[in-house]
Amino acid sequence: MLDILYQDEQLVAISKPSGLLVHRSLIDTREHEFALQMTRDQIGERVYPVHRLDRPTSGVLLFALSSDIARLIAEQFAERDVAKNYLALVRGYSDPEGHIDYALREQHDKIADAKADSDKEAQPAITDYRCLQQVELPVAVGRYDSARFSWLCLTPHTGRKHQLRRHMKHIFHPIVGDTSHGDGKQNSFMREHYNCHRLMLHANSLQLLHPISGEKLNIEAPLPSDLRDPLERMGFNSL
Q: Which phi and psi (to 5°) does residue 47 adopt? A: -125, 155
Active-site residue, selected from the candidate residues 3, 28, 41, 54: 54
- 54 catalytic per annotation: yes
Strand-pair partners of 172 = none
- Which residues, in sequence order, are CB contacts of 123 under 8 Å at separation 6+? 103, 104, 105, 106, 158, 160
Torsion region of 59: left, alpha or beta (phi above 0 gives left; psi -120 to 50 gives alpha): left
Q: Which of 210, 164, 131 is nearest to 54 (CA)?
A: 164
Q: Are 18 and 225 in contact (CB under 8 A)?
A: no
The residues carrying an active-site annotation are 54
